[in-house]
Amino acid sequence: MTMQTATGALSVRGLCKHFGGVAALSGVSIELRPGEVQGLIGPNGSGKTTLLNMLSGYYPIDEGSIHLGNEDLTRATVQRRACAGIARTFQTPRLLPTLSALENVMLGGWRDARAGMIGAMLSSPRARAEDKLLSERALELLCGVGLAHALDERADVLRHGEQRFLEIARALAARPRFVLLDEPAGGLSGNEIASLGAVLAALKNCGIGVLLVEHHTDFVFRICDRVTAIDFGRVIVCDTPDKVRAHEDVVRVYLGA
């Protein structure tokens, strides 16, 4: 079957991944378009995180392909994918605990640094100028995710919700075209989930495509343009939230009704 690919989309075709005898993904095809928020839902163990790991290059794939626009990223390294514009967050935030919030986000912008390690050690004019730019951008991003009050706080003293927003800001520092978020609403308060919704809407407005892996289905159905539901490593349906919510296999398999 031939599938039309949206211009500049991140597209996955026929992805398969086995861990020993476990088929974590069996022929998964999805397309994430620029400027869309797409939810990825499914029961525990259905393959959501495996898909994110394969999109971001953490696991090699067994079969299938990954393209960003015309660029074949199927065998690309994590760094190559980051340079191509794919950023992600993790189920448990992976921050540098003893660095400040500002420093964590500045590190996310490493791609923009050209002065190199020696230049940074010698504090060359170029390194100082880059540092200033990275710091200004990090400040802007931290304000954008509601962490203006925590710039100089160590990452490990931040509350759980703050750490989640910090991780998103760090991902954005790489100026991605696509962001893969692994359960960003996990452990957030109602107010924080509302803030997360506002952040996702802002990303969409900037033309960034967001893949949102999330168990918080009310949030997913409310905020997403499209939702993909998977089970046992296979796509059940990809459609608008209303259609996915009403899909009989989704109701049976995922919502347990």
Ligand X SMILES: Nc1ncnc2c1ncn2[C@@H]1O[C@H](COP(=O)(O)OP(=O)(O)OP(=O)(O)O)[C@@H](O)[C@H]1O
Kindly tell me which of 24 and 147 has the beta carbon lying closer to ligand X. 24
Q: Which is nearer to ligand X, 31 or 183 (CB)?
A: 183
| CA–CA distance, 228 with 165 (Å, rounded to integer) | 24
Interface with ligand X, residue 26, by CB under 6 A: no
Can residue 42 be called a binding residue for ligand X (CB under 6 A)? yes
Nearer Cβ to ligand X (130/167): 167
Classify residue 35 as exposed, middle or buried by CB count within 10 Å of its CB (0-12, 13-18, 19+). Answer: middle
Q: Which two tokens stand for residue 234?
A: 């296979």
Question: Chain centroid to CA 117: how far?
Answer: 28
Identify the residue whose tokens are 């499209």. 226
Helix, strand or coil, per DSSP, at residue 22: strand
191/57 Cα distance (integer angstroms): 33
The span of 40-48, 109-117, 143-151, 249-257 binding ligand X (CB under 6 A) equals: 40-48
Decide if residue 110 touches ligand X (CB under 6 A). no
Is 170 strand, coil or helix? Answer: helix
Q: Name the segment binding ligand X (CB under 6 A); options: 38-46, 99-107, 131-139, 194-202.
A: 38-46
Residue number, 58 or 133, with CB nearest to ligand X? 58
Whole-angstrom Cα distance, residue 131 to residue 73? Answer: 30
Q: Is 88 among the residues that bind ligand X (CB under 6 A)?
A: no
Residue 211's beta-bridge partner residues?
Answer: 38, 180
CB of 172 to ligand X, least distance (A): 23
22 binds ligand X, rule: CB under 6 A: yes
Site string for ligand X, 44-83 (x = CB under 6 A): xxxxxxx---------------------------------
Region of 4-12, 17-25, 69-77, 137-145 interacting with ligand X (CB under 6 A): 17-25
Assign 37 to helix, strand or coil: strand
Give me the residues that bind ligand X (CB under 6 A), please.
19, 22, 24, 42, 44-50
